[in-house]
Copies of this chain bind each other. A is one copy, B any other.
Amino acid sequence: MPARTLYLCVVDPGVGGERSALAIEADGDWYVGPDNGLLALVTRHAGKARVLRVDWRPEVLSSSFHGRDLFAPVAAMLCNGKVPRCTEIAKATLIGNDWPSQLAKVVYVDRYGNLITGMQASDLAKDSRARVGGREIAYAHTFCSVPPGQAFWYENAFGLVELAINQGNAHHTLGLGLGDRVELSRYSS
A residues adjacent to B (C-beta < 8 A): 13-17, 62-65, 68-69, 141-145, 154-157, 166-167
Given contacts A157-B62, A157-B65, whether A142 and B15 have CB atoms under 8 Å apart is yes
CB distance from A33 to the nearest CB of B (A): 16
Q: B154 touching A13 by the CB < 8 A rule?
A: no
With a cutoff of 8 Å between Cβ atoms, the chain B residues found around residue A144 in the complex are 13-17
Q: B155 touching A63 by the CB < 8 A rule?
A: yes
CB distance from A160 to the nearest CB of B (A): 11
CB nearest neighbor in B for A148: B13
With a cutoff of 8 Å between Cβ atoms, the chain B residues found around residue A14 in the complex are 143-144
5 residue pairs from A and B, CB less than 8 Å apart: A13-B143, A15-B143, A15-B144, A64-B143, A69-B157
CB distance from A83 to the nearest CB of B (A): 23
With a cutoff of 8 Å between Cβ atoms, the chain B residues found around residue A65 in the complex are 156-157
Contact partner of A17 (CB less than 8 A), chosen from B63, B145, B157, is B145
Q: B13 touching A157 by the CB < 8 A rule?
A: no
Q: A141 touching B13 by the CB < 8 A rule?
A: no
* A157 and B62 alpha carbons, distance in the complex (Å): 5
With a cutoff of 8 Å between Cβ atoms, the chain B residues found around residue A64 in the complex are 142-143, 154, 156-157
Q: A16 touching B143 by the CB < 8 A rule?
A: yes
Q: B16 touching A145 by the CB < 8 A rule?
A: yes
Contact partner of A156 (CB less than 8 A), chosen from B13, B62, B69, B154, is B62
With a cutoff of 8 Å between Cβ atoms, the chain B residues found around residue A155 in the complex are 62-63
